[in-house]
Chains A and B, each alone.
Chain A
Amino acid sequence: MENEIVKPKSQRHRRVLKERSSKIHENDKKSMFIRGGNTSDIVTTVLKEMYMLKKPNALLLRKRNIARPFEDQTTLEFLSKMNDCSLFFGSHSKKRPHNIVIGRLFDHQCLDMVELGIDNFQSLKDIKSNKCALATKPCLVFTGSSFESDDELRRVKNIFIDFFRGPVVENVRLSGLEHVIQFTAENGTIYLRNYRVMLKKSGSRTPRVEIENMGPNMDLTVRRTHFASDDLFKKACRQPKAAKPKKVKNVSSDLFGTKRGRIHMTSQDLKNLQLRKIKALKRKPDEKKAKIPRKR
């Protein structure tokens, strides 16, 4: 905003620019859901339902945008600049049936993109069960060793966390934890499942978790990918000094959670130590007088 050559003419414009400028503590990422030139029924419902799950921080674009993210990213970059969104969910299906693209942008430049094919799709409506409330922060569960061992899947996991984690919060209401998204990677397929959480009494303080299938469910296969170079990714991950938590010195907590502090003292001056007063050691009045001028 600082280097804006065209000065904002109204307070509203100024506020919008301030909201969109880069900050030390960032806003939650907004995502836009874009329909490509051709979308199958499955892809359209996937977009709609993902939009519903992500709702307060999401934007469903009404018009079709004939964009091919892997060939030309200018459309996406333009749309992200206009809508101040950093994540997108574009889709089209022609040569590649039931195709969706999840990606993220850094500074309105494309950072990472994954193209995913959808199989075995089950919509929210297909499954007859209770659904979780809107705009709950989901719990994410990743299973499968390939999310750690495979370089590609590791980045895909990072994208999924970024995309699905919802708003960053300090506090969470315990009874509001009612949505679990599970990602399982096995044999080149990622199984995405959505569950609703039911908390049962376990007898101890922590409840027993029971889950119920809620939908949307789908099996995803990774098709084309576009990942940022390590340099750019590192640059994008850089945190400002002010955002890092300050180290608290000399305070620690032990196993039982009690706070312990360490205090550093100056060495004790033993000359001024108050001992028992003995009359014999008291200075005589004339001795006192002689000492006074030396003192300040």
Chain B
Amino acid sequence: MVVRAEDLLQKIQKEQEDKLQSIQVSKNIEVDVDCGNLLACDTNSMDTQRLRSEKEVYLKTLAREGAQLLFNEIWKLPIERIQEAVIAKLPPPTTVLPREKPVPKPKQPTKWEEYAKLKGIRKLKKGRMVWDDESKSWKPRWGYKRANDDTKEWVLEVPRNADPNEDQFEKKMKEKKERIAKNDLQRLRNIARRTGKKVPGVGQTAVAQENKSKTELESAFHVAKQATASLGRFQETLREEKNVKKRGQKRKFEAVTQKSNTEKERQLNILNQMYKKQPQLNITKAVNKEVQDGEVRKPKAGKRKPAKSTKAVKGGKRPKRGKR
């Protein structure tokens, strides 16, 4: 039998096309494929009549076509073979989806870290295990069964100028607890600093007298001196006491009597504002009102009367704290 080369070529070409046909899908609008999410979005309009008459069959063909287009894209990705499993490397997903939690903020330095950076103090790496002379072995630097543990001493020297009846063990324990409390307080203050909250000063901690610095003692003295019914007005001054006038903040009021010009100006200002027809916008009041309204709308805080909150903008009295 003689076969012409032309025929054979045509036959092979046709076969090839048939093969490709089985995986090809034609769509009017191109289907969006996001390989990272294994997602195909077909935005072509659908045949409503066919959907009504043969729903399941039509849906299945649509699903098959979408899946085929997705698989065609996946098979184009770089493919590897790892331990008898054929693996495709997926690109990162392109569909924008919301995160679960907000983006983490960079950690703000603590007060000490800030100071250390200013002074160029660097952290030194310390080993975890330390040689313990007493037991002649390596022990952890801190924590349970630590080396050179000074809390486990069975005898303590009473200092020469100390009260002989004072319990030195108890004193030591108390000092340790104070140090822990102080550290915890500083930690909380650092958190408050980070979150932008105001915190009062530590005041005077009950650290043992000999550990206090001169400034600490001085401030403690002034606090104590002012802590009387008359705010320390009738307290006697000591011999070498520094005269510290500016302690704490005082509220300032304007003088009752002023120069005639300034007083006149102030009064005129008030009158001008009153005669202006335009209402003045008090931003803080407006914000407060908005917040309150939001609370009223919520079912939880439904007890407030809405009539009262409308007054606030017009310049009525601020609602009392207890009612908010």
Contacts and interface: CB of A to CB of B under 8 A. Distances in A.
Interface of A: 2-3, 5, 7, 21-24, 26-27, 29, 71-72, 86, 104-107, 111, 137-145, 147-148, 157-158, 161-162, 165, 168-175, 177, 180, 182, 184, 186-187, 191, 193, 195, 197, 199, 202-211, 213, 228, 233, 235-240, 245
Contacts of B59: 182, 184, 191, 193
Q: Which of B38, B63, B89, B93 has the most CB of A within 10 A?
A: B63
B87 A144 contact: no
Contact of B100 (A86, A138, A207): A86
Contact of A182 (B66, B68, B96, B107): B66
Interface in B13-61: 18-20, 22-23, 36-46, 48, 51, 55-56, 59-60
Given A184-B46, A186-B46, 18 more contacts: A2-B107, A23-B101, A26-B101, A27-B100, A141-B66, A143-B46, A157-B41, A161-B37, A171-B80, A180-B63, A180-B66, A191-B55, A195-B63, A202-B23, A203-B19, A207-B23, A211-B60, A237-B97
Contact of A144 (B36, B46, B64, B107): B46
Contacts of B220: none
Nearest to B16: A203
A208 B48 contact: no
Interface in B80-95: 80, 85-90, 92-93, 95
Interface of B: 18-20, 22-23, 36-46, 48, 51, 55-56, 59-60, 62-64, 66-68, 70-72, 74-75, 79-80, 85-90, 92-93, 95-104, 107, 187-188, 191, 194-195, 299-300
Contact of B102 (A7, A22, A195, A202): A22
A148 B30 CA distance: 13
Contacts of A180: 63, 66-67
Main secondary structure of the interface of B (DSSP, over half): mixed
Contacts, number: 192
A210 B60 CA distance: 10
B45 to A, nearest CB: 5
Contact of A206 (B64, B67, B71, B92): B71
Given A204-B19, A210-B64, A111 B98 contact: yes
